[in-house]
Structure 1
Amino acid sequence: MKNIKALGLLFLALMVGLAAAVYAAGWAARQSNIASHKVVVAAVDIEMGSKINPQMLTSTDWPSGSIPEGSFKDINELQDRVVKVSVLRGDAVLERKLAPAGTQGGLSAVIAEGKRAMTVRVNDVVGVAGFALPGNYVDVMVNAQQDKGKGEEGKQISKTVLEHVLVLAVAQESSRDDTKPKVVSAVTLELSLEDSEKLDLARSVGTLSLVLRNQIDKKTVATSGITKSQLFGEKEVPPAAVKVAATTTSVYKPKAVIAKPAAQPATECVEVIQNGSRFINCF
């Protein structure tokens, strides 16, 4: 009786195992029937601005229904192309991640169309303690002395001259993957040609400061700047009032002189004889 039960359990186990094997074989067959194509992916991490060579790439099977737009099938198509953004290992190399064909490697390959790269000298304070890293956005502030007008004194003013400026590189590093602060002596910014002129003038007339901003904050705020008197709450006297006051105090008004009336000449005379003396009195 015990042998019959043991044989039954063994037979049941064999049937379950056979069913599992059949199911697994059918699943594998269905998976193999899914159409796939070769897609070029990065075999290593590729830094922004780097020129691609075949050793950096490999091909892998990719399901036909989910092939990313702009992908490549042949590694040779990417020979000497330059990436304008960093590509991580295993990521598909796409056309939108590449600079135009014929572009040479380096920082110039990642500058957006119509933009310019300009470098400014910074220190640990101006450079936001090294937190202004490639890929971040900053505002540029200048502290300078205003031009003097006639009869006026030049005022010290601090004003934001540029907003939402992309940091392309710090020193000679342009990688956007590193988030560790770096205190450097120079920062390269991406600017329009007009903003490049503003920045060049600003650094020649005063001292610059970089103001770090949130990467997703694209709002601009127009300000008129702030002067020293405004900072300390002092009331500014309008130039016209000062000029009038100065003119009033410098005017000399002589005192009026009242002339005394001239003595009227005598018109009548009387001869007087007294005690043998004779004299004349005129009125």
Structure 2
Amino acid sequence: MKNRRALIVMVLAVVFGLAAVLLAAQWLLHAPAPTSNRIAVAASDINIGQRLTPEMLKLVEWPADSVPKGAYLDPQKLAGRVLRTSVLAGEPVSEAKLAPAGTLGGLSALITEGKRAITVRVNDVIGVAGFALPGNYVDIIVSTETDPLPEQQQRGGPRERSISKIVLERILVLAVAQEVNRDETKPKVVNAVTLEVTPEQAEKLDLARSVGTLSLALRNQVDPAAAETSGATKDNLLPQAAPVRRVALPAPAPRPRAQAQRAPAPAPQRDCVKVINGLHASQECF
């Protein structure tokens, strides 16, 4: 009896298992096949400013519902285009990462329309110890001599006074020396830094480096706030102590002269007689 019951249970399990397999197979056969597109991606790491060739790209299957905007389906259409940003291997190449059609390769492809690139000479100190890398933002500080204040001229002070002032803010670093790769994070001590500026800023920067010494101040990339400063001079850098005002003390009052004490005049001499009256004695003077 027990064997018969166990056999029935096993038969039912096999039947239900076969039914589940058949239902799953039917669902897979009738399920819609996932759609995909073949898009162009980088075959290897490509640096910023490089001109693309078909050998740098390859086609890969990509889900149709997550194809990046502006992606290319034909690598031949990307031949001769210039990258504005670095692209890693396997990363889709979209229109947003490309310079306008007809742009030549190199640094000129990185310059925003309406702006200019200008290079300034730096050293390990001016270049923020090599941490001013492509893609960072810096402020430009000039240290120079300026005309004295009117009150200093009246007092016959020095003809010029030293001042350090921020003249340009939030300037994009395009390249250091001849490196334009923005994926680097290690400091690079170089002798030149190329900056992206407007034409007006280019004029100010050229004048600033001719009248004084330039320094770069590295700033936060997401901080757009302007620095409201009046410049540093010797007067506000090392303020002089206020002169001590001498208060004239009142002259002491003259001491009254001590009057000489006159000796009392001697009493006139008188004749005296001692009178004895019984037990009492007295003196009488004439």
What fraction of aligned residue pairs are identical, expressed as a percent? Answer: 51
Q: Secondary structure at the match of 1:139?
A: strand
Deviations 1:59-90 (A, max 9, x none): 22333333222121111100110011111222
Question: In 2, Cα distance between the equivalents of 1:144 and 1:24?
Answer: 83
Matched AA of 2:188? K
Please say which structure displays the higher CA radius of gyration. 2
Q: In 2 relative to 1, CA 160–17 (structure 1 residues): closer, same or farther, beyond 3 Å? A: farther
Name the counterpart of 1:261.
Answer: none
Deviations 1:206-247 (A, max 9, x none): 1111101111001112322010121011379xxxxxxxxxxx
Q: Is 2:180 the counterpart of 1:179? A: no
Q: Secondary structure at the match of 1:76?
A: helix
Name the counterpart of 1:279.
Answer: none
Within-5 A mapping of 1:65-104? 65-104=65-104
Name the counterpart of 1:233.
Answer: 239
Q: Is 2:132 the counterpart of 1:132? A: yes
Question: In 1, Cα distance between the equivalents of 2:25 and 2:187?
Answer: 53
Q: In 2 relative to 1, CA 109–15 (structure 1 residues): closer, same or farther, beyond 3 Å? A: same
Q: In 2 relative to 1, CA 64–213 (structure 1 residues): closer, same or farther, beyond 3 Å? A: same
The answer to whether the 8 Å contact 1:229/1:235 transfers is: no
Deviations 1:28-76 (A, max 9, x none): 86362x3322221212121110100111111223333332221211111
Q: Secondary structure at the match of 1:229?
A: helix
Matched AA of 1:224? S
Question: In 2, Cα distance between the equivalents of 1:157 and 1:178?
Answer: 35
Q: In 2 relative to 1, CA 54–228 (structure 1 residues): closer, same or farther, beyond 3 Å? A: same
Q: Is 2:171 the counterpart of 1:168? A: no
Name the counterpart of 1:266.
Answer: none
Q: Secondary structure at the match of 2:208?
A: helix
Question: In 2, Cα distance between the equivalents of 1:84 and 1:147?
Answer: 45
C-alpha RMSD over aligned residues: 2.6
TM-score when scaled to structure 1?
A: 0.74
Q: Is 2:125 the counterpart of 1:120? A: no
Q: Secondary structure at the match of 2:142?
A: strand
Aligned residues between the structures: 235
Cα offset for 1:3?
10
Q: In 2 relative to 1, CA 16–208 (structure 1 residues): closer, same or farther, beyond 3 Å? A: farther
Q: Secondary structure at the match of 1:198?
A: helix
Question: In 1, Cα distance between the equivalents of 2:87 and 2:49?
Answer: 10
Q: Is 2:219 the counterpart of 1:223? A: no
Q: Secondary structure at the match of 1:190?
A: strand
Name the counterpart of 1:244.
Answer: none
Matched AA of 1:30? A
Question: In 2, Cα distance between the equivalents of 1:105 and 1:25?
Answer: 56
Name the counterpart of 1:43.
Answer: 43
The answer to whether the 8 Å contact 1:42/1:58 transfers is: yes
The answer to whether the 8 Å contact 1:52/1:80 transfers is: yes
Deviations 1:149-203 (A, max 9, x none): 8655201001001100111111111111111111111111111111111111111
Q: Is 2:15 the counterpart of 1:19? A: no
Cα offset for 1:17?
7.3
Q: Secondary structure at the match of 2:91?
A: coil
Unaligned runs of 5+ in 2: 243-286
Question: In 2, Cα distance between the equivalents of 1:220 and 1:56?
Answer: 42
Q: Secondary structure at the match of 1:230?
A: helix
Q: In 2 relative to 1, CA 25–55 (structure 1 residues): closer, same or farther, beyond 3 Å? A: farther
Name the counterpart of 1:109.
Answer: 109
Question: In 2, Cα distance between the equivalents of 1:130 and 1:13?
Answer: 73
Unaligned runs of 5+ in 1: 237-283
Name the counterpart of 1:240.
Answer: none
